[in-house]
Amino acid sequence: EIMVLIERVLPDATDDSVMQVISDIIIRPHANVLSLGFLLALIFSTNGFKSIIVAFTSSVHIHEDRGFFSLHWTSLVIVFVFTITSFVTILASIINQHFLDFLVEYDFMTQGTIYYIIKFANWIIMVAMILFMVSFLFYYGPKTKTKFKLISTGSSVSTVVIIIVMLLFNVYINNFSKYNVLYGSIGTLLIVLLWIYINAFILLLGFEINASIASAKSDADNYLPKNTQESP
């Protein structure tokens, strides 16, 4: 069931390769390899979020003067929150599905309208997870905190665009792209990297929306008092 949830997020063309790696880890675990893989994943993910945070700070024209440890600690906290949120989301989706199966198996519910409405809750949970993680990144990552609440316009727009692009990207990869034909097994890596690149661009776009709104509000606050004083 965890693999099913992963398949929903990743482009369909990458399913076989990614699922094969995950299955190999589960079936034939190697402690040394897993430890090294976990350490490398932690380092790369922390550095990735650090780069995004620096880009956010540059977007609002503020020099990033936080020290090495401070910046990496912020990135590490974001990685930790993202990991916990993903785990809770997967757990909630699994519990939801088992609960539905239990109700159907013991004739408490039929596979009718109510069943599919509750089943649709899995997608609501996933959307809520994306919204929270994007909002937390926008709120906690930058050096200067804006006056926006945790759920902001930029994070909401980014969440919607990420979901739309995810669906359209799946359609493109499945029907029009020839990555696997042209590049073979490395095509999977290219697809994943392209998918990550697009999502990173969407995050920068969403934060830029927040920065623009904050700048416009600041200009309005500075402009209105002057107009009030100059008015007869």
Instruction: Tell me: pLDDT of 72 over 80.
Output: yes
Type of residue found at 213: I
Higher pLDDT, 75 or 122: 75
Q: Within a domain: residue 26?
A: yes
Mean pLDDT of 191-216: 84
pLDDT at 232 over 50: no
Residue 169 lies in a domain: yes
| E strand or H helix at 184 | none
What secondary structure letter does DSSP report for 176?
T
Locate all alpha helices (DSSP H) within the chain, ordered by sequence. 2-9, 15-27, 31-59, 68-105, 113-119, 121-140, 153-175, 179-183, 186-230
Arithmetic mean of pLDDT over the chain: 75
* Tally of domains within the chain: 1
Q: Which domain holds residue 166?
A: 2-211
What number is the average pLDDT over the span 108-115? 77
Q: Which of 120-134, 139-153, 164-178, 180-194 has the highest mean pLDDT?
A: 120-134
- 51 part of a folded domain: yes
Higher local confidence (pLDDT), 222 or 45:
45
Residue 14 has pLDDT above 60, yes or no: no
Q: What is the mean pLDDT of residues 102-115?
A: 77
Question: Is 146 a residue whose pLDDT tops 70?
Answer: no
Q: How far apart are CA 214 and CA 191, in angstroms?
A: 35
Q: Would the CA dihedral through 121, 124, 126, 128 be positive or negative?
A: negative
Cα–Cα distance between 226 and 221 in angstroms, integer? 9
| Cα atoms in the Cβ-side hemisphere of radius 13 Å centred on 15 | 14
Cα 170 from chain centre: 16
pLDDT at 121: 79
Rg of the chain, C-alpha, whole Å: 22
- For the segment 96-111, the average pLDDT, to the nearest whole number, is 78
d(CA 42, CA 45): 5
Could you tell me which residue, 158 or 31, shows the higher pLDDT?
158
Instruction: Give a three-class secondary structure readout of 69-135.
Output: HHHHHHHHHHHHHHHHHHHHHHHHHHHHHHHHHHHHHCCCCCCCHHHHHHHCHHHHHHHHHHHHHHH
Instruction: Give the Cα separation of 75 and 161 in Å (integer).
Output: 24
Paired tokens of 125: 């949970």
